[in-house]
């Protein structure tokens, strides 16, 4: 995705070359934002009236330099109760490059503490949504990169206030179309407000036609007028999403904010991320884990890599991975402020180990901006790695390796999360009060009850009858830990070829990892150590030699299971009642175009987050976040089409639609 072309005028103002217009006035940009958008939407009083844990969703057209966002954030911090949260959603077709954003925002020293956090995670690289966690999770930013008119319909959820910004209707007529106003109306409720700097006729008419009231107010500075108003006529729901995926976004328990609680079963990356995302929304979480500590299975390797296998074709999987990757980086950086050893943002190299991979890498480099990934020569990669490499390839400067187990522990360290170890879920039963869980804890059986239960047990999730239709599969993998040498300590960045080698930490490198589709044994095998070393020998011979070659000192290893789905997308969301679904949607067997009239019946309060395959570090955080948003009835951090691709019901739909007998 191309960055905005900018020029800086004699006053230091950023000017868009494409729209021949300034982004803001250097003398009074902040005052203008406050007058038009903040006060025009009555944000100070609405923020201060928020309930504990309530989330306010503010959406904007035209992110530009992010000035409106930072002003809204500052206002929120000043006015809103401490536990309230702001979800800021903004569209942008021509995102500024990071350096330009940094330079533009440096004009506002009073916003420096906010802009520093924004620029630290801002990597505008992928079309669609990019979600960021800021201010310890209190502020969420979803940047919708691309054309506003095509992105807004894909927004899942409702907005409380709109900031209608962007270049003026005269300079940017493409955006100010009836489609913009009708999309806004569909994503609004009857108290949703908007404010805009322009009182142009086309805007007023469009808003009125879409169901908004229009009031004129005095404009800022030399501008005579501005307008604001609210939705007064809710349009008919014209959603085009398949009905069988609908009905998932709803506040699930119906209890007030103070008493929301849930049980999460499974203390790996999926469980801990979901727990944290809900805890930050004020939920009291009991996190059950069968072992005596968190992250003892797949999430327990000493070093896990932020590894993204992308496609230039923008497949749903690739879009999801890119978004998950960026979200994980913003989240990890937030945690690393308290715990710097949680991850090392030391970059990741993917070697072009054959012509096919090289072609894909070159396509990716054409598709993504350089600060996201770049295709580099052998010499350039060798310099970044600190050890000579034999191949060209792509370099991800913002990636790195994570200590997954400590990440899990950091996530679970929250006043609202109670970790219960040695608690193995045996069965789950639904009754009128919610769910009864039977647990085996050490040597006794006990029960627990909860209205909301989230299963994050990886493959073991499907042992529970309501989840048995989800086709989760285990793939065994083993990593090898190798003692570092003087030479191998020079490795500065993770190098991935067939396997991967991570930089040394406390005298140990992790190299990995094997793939075994047949075995269900978690025993650490000598032959798998050999295979891990042999992958280094083939793809990165100098790293292999630096590790000691055939004499490498193996310190140990771990074998565990990647839990995957047939389409490699995780299974995340609410669980339908399978029997009812198969009856109510029986026509799917004959005709996918059949007009159904009712959304599915859900097993109220039951959710899953599993199937993270070999990249849980980049999918589990975003999935935890989107599940929490879904359970809270908030706008989703991902587009509605991606939600459908993650929806566990897809497996029932596919199985039924294939059976066209």
Ligand X SMILES: Cc1cc2nc3c(=O)[nH]c(=O)nc-3n(C[C@H](O)[C@H](O)[C@H](O)COP(=O)(O)OP(=O)(O)OC[C@H]3O[C@@H](n4cnc5c(N)ncnc54)[C@H](O)[C@@H]3O)c2cc1C
In the complex, the residues that contact ligand X under the rule CB under 6 A are 265-271, 288-291, 296-299, 301, 304-305, 307, 424-425, 456-458, 460, 477-479, 512-513, 560-563, 610, 612-618, 620
Whole-number Å distance between alpha carbons of 634 and 277: 12
Q: How far apart are CB 276 and ligand X at their closest, in Å? A: 13
In the complex with ligand X, the residue whose CB is nearer, 266 or 497, is 266
Q: How far apart are CB 365 and ligand X at their closest, in Å? A: 22
Whole-number Å distance between alpha carbons of 21 and 344: 40
In the complex with ligand X, the residue whose CB is nearer, 206 or 268, is 268
In the complex with ligand X, the residue whose CB is nearer, 95 or 499, is 499
Whole-number Å distance between alpha carbons of 638 and 346: 27
Helix (H, G, I), strand (E, B) or coil at 347: coil
In the complex with ligand X, the residue whose CB is nearer, 77 or 567, is 567
Q: How far apart are CB 288 and ligand X at their closest, in Å? A: 5
In the complex with ligand X, the residue whose CB is nearer, 59 or 305, is 305
Question: Please, is 269 exposed, middle or buried when counting C-beta atoms within 10 Å of its C-beta (0-12, 13-18, 19+)?
Answer: buried
CB 257 within 8 A of CB 281: no
Q: How far apart are CB 620 and ligand X at their closest, in Å? A: 6
In the complex with ligand X, the residue whose CB is nearer, 151 or 563, is 563
Q: How far apart are CB 498 and ligand X at their closest, in Å? A: 14
In the complex with ligand X, the residue whose CB is nearer, 93 or 459, is 459
Q: How far apart are CB 269 and ligand X at their closest, in Å? A: 4
Q: How far apart are CB 474 and ligand X at their closest, in Å? A: 9
Q: How far apart are CB 508 and ligand X at their closest, in Å? A: 15
CB 636 within 8 A of CB 630: yes
In the complex with ligand X, the residue whose CB is nearer, 107 or 288, is 288
Q: How far apart are CB 605 and ligand X at their closest, in Å? A: 18
Cis peptide before 419 (omega within 30 of 0): no
CB 644 within 8 A of CB 247: no
Strand positions, DSSP E, 248-347? 261-265, 284-288, 304-305, 343-344
Q: How far apart are CB 634 and ligand X at their closest, in Å? A: 23
Whole-number Å distance between alpha carbons of 568 and 161: 36
In the complex with ligand X, the residue whose CB is nearer, 178 or 613, is 613
In the complex with ligand X, the residue whose CB is nearer, 53 or 510, is 510
In the complex with ligand X, the residue whose CB is nearer, 378 or 492, is 492
Helix (H, G, I), strand (E, B) or coil at 481: strand
Whole-number Å distance between alpha carbons of 347 and 436: 45
In the complex with ligand X, the residue whose CB is nearer, 318 or 560, is 560
Contact residues for 51 (Cβ-Cβ < 8 A; gap 6+): 81, 84, 257
Q: How far apart are CB 128 and ligand X at their closest, in Å? A: 21
Q: How far apart are CB 5 and ligand X at their closest, in Å? A: 36
| Torsion from C-alpha of 543, 547, 551, 556, nearest 10 degrees | -120
What is the DSSP track for 198-240? ---HHHHHHHHHHTB--EEEE-STT--EEEEEEB-SPPPP---
Cα Rg of the chain, angstroms: 25
CB 143 within 8 A of CB 132: yes
DSSP state of 573: E
Q: How far apart are CB 118 and ligand X at their closest, in Å? A: 25
In the complex with ligand X, the residue whose CB is nearer, 180 or 373, is 373
Whole-number Å distance between alpha carbons of 537 and 530: 10
Q: How far apart are CB 455 and ligand X at their closest, in Å? A: 9
In the complex with ligand X, the residue whose CB is nearer, 288 or 373, is 288
Measuring CA to CA, which residue among 249, 316, 310 is closest to residue 645? 316
**In the beta sheet, which residues pair with residue 61?**
91, 164
End-to-end alpha-carbon separation of the chain, Å? 45
Q: Which secondary structure element, helix H or strand E, spans residue 576, and what is its range?
A: strand 571-576
In the complex with ligand X, the residue whose CB is nearer, 84 or 269, is 269
**In the beta sheet, which residues pair with residue 132?**
141
Cα angle value 465/470/474 (rounded, 5°): 105
Q: How far apart are CB 30 and ligand X at their closest, in Å? A: 40
As given in the structure block, the two tokens for residue 263 are 């049980």
CB 448 within 8 A of CB 286: yes
Strand order in the sheet with 374-376: 374-376, 393-396, 348-351, 494-496, 500-501, 508-512, 473-483, 554-564
CB 453 within 8 A of CB 607: yes
Residue 568 phi, psi dihedral angles, 5° rounding: 65, 5
* CA-to-CA dists, residue 89 to 56, 143, 263, angstroms: 11, 6, 30
Residue 15 phi, psi dihedral angles, 5° rounding: -120, 130
Q: How far apart are CB 415 and ligand X at their closest, in Å? A: 22
In the complex with ligand X, the residue whose CB is nearer, 207 or 627, is 627
As given in the structure block, the two tokens for residue 182 are 């009708």
């Amino acid at each position: 995705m191309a960055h905005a072309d900018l020029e800086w005028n004699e006053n230091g103002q950023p000017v868009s070359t494409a729209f021949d217009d300034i982004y803001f006035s250097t003398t009074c940009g902040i005052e203008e934002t406050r007058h038009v958008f903040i006060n025009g939407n009555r944000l100070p009083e609405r923020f201060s009236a928020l309930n504990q844990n309530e989330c306010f969703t503010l959406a904007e057209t035209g992110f530009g330099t992010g000035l409106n966002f930072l002003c809204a954030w500052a206002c929120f911090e000043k006015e809103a109760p401490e536990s309230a949260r702001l979800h800021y959603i903004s569209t942008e077709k021509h995102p500024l490059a990071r350096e330009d954003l940094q330079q533009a925002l440096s004009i506002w020293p009073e916003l420096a503490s906010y802009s520093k956090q924004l620029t630290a995670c801002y990597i505008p690289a992928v079309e669609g949504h990019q979600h960021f966690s800021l201010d310890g999770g209190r502020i969420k930013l979803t940047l919708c990169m691309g054309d506003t008119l095509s992105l807004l319909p894909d927004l899942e959820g409702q907005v409380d206030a709109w900031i209608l910004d962007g270049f003026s209707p005269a300079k940017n007529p493409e955006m100010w179309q009836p489609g913009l106003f009708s999309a806004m109306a569909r994503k609004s409720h009857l108290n949703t407000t908007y404010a805009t700097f322009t009182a142009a006729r086309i805007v007023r008419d469009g808003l009125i036609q879409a169901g908004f009231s229009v009031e004129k107010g005095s404009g800022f500075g030399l501008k005579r007028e501005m307008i604001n108003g609210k939705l007064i006529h809710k349009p008919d729901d014209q959603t085009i999403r398949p009905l069988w995926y609908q009905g998932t976004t709803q506040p699930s328990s119906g209890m007030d904010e103070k008493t929301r609680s849930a049980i999460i079963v499974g203390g790996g990356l999926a469980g801990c991320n979901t727990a944290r995302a809900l805890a930050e929304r004020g939920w009291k979480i009991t996190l059950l884990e069968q072992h005596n500590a968190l992250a003892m299975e797949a999430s327990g390797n000493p070093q896990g890599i932020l590894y993204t296998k992308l496609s230039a074709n923008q497949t749903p999987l690739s879009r999801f991975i890119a978004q998950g990757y960026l979200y994980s980086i913003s989240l990890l950086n937030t945690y690393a402020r308290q715990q710097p050893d949680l991850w090392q943002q030391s970059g990741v190299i993917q070697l072009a180990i054959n012509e096919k991979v090289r072609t894909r890498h070159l396509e990716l480099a054409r598709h993504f901006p350089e600060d996201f990934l770049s295709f580099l020569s052998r010499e350039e990669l060798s310099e970044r790695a600190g050890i000579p490499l034999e191949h060209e390839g792509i370099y991800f400067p913002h990636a790195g390796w994570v200590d997954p187990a400590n990440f899990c522990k950091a996530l679970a360290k929250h006043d609202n999360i109670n970790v219960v170890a040695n608690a193995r879920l045996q069965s789950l039963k639904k009754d009128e009060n919610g769910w009864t869980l039977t647990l085996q804890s050490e040597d006794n059986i006990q029960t627990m009850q909860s209205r909301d239960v989230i299963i994050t047990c990886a493959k073991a999730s499907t042992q529970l009858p309501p989840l048995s239709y989800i086709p989760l599969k285990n793939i065994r993998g083993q990593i090898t830990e190798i003692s570092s040498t003087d030479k191998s300590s020079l490795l500065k960045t993770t190098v991935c070829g067939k396997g991967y080698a991570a930089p040394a930490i406390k005298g140990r490198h992790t190299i990995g990892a094997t793939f075994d589709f047949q075995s269900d044994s978690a025993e650490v095998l000598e032959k798998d150590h050999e295979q891990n070393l042999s992958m280094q020998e083939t793809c990165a011979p100098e790293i292999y030699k630096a590790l000691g070659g055939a004499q490498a000192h193996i310190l140990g290893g771990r074998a565990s299971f990647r839990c995957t789905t047939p389409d490699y997308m995780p299974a995340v969301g609410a669980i339908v009642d399978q029997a009812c679904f198969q009856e109510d949607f029986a026509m799917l067997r004959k005709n996918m175009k059949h007009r159904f009239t009712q959304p599915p019946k859900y097993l109220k309060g039951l959710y899953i987050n599993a199937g993270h395959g070999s990249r849980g570090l980049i999918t589990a955080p975003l999935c935890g976040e989107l599940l929490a948003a879904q359970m809270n009835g908030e706008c989703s951090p991902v587009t509605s089409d991606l939600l459908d691709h993650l929806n566990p019901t897809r497996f029932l739909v596919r199985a039924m639609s294939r059976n066209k007998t």
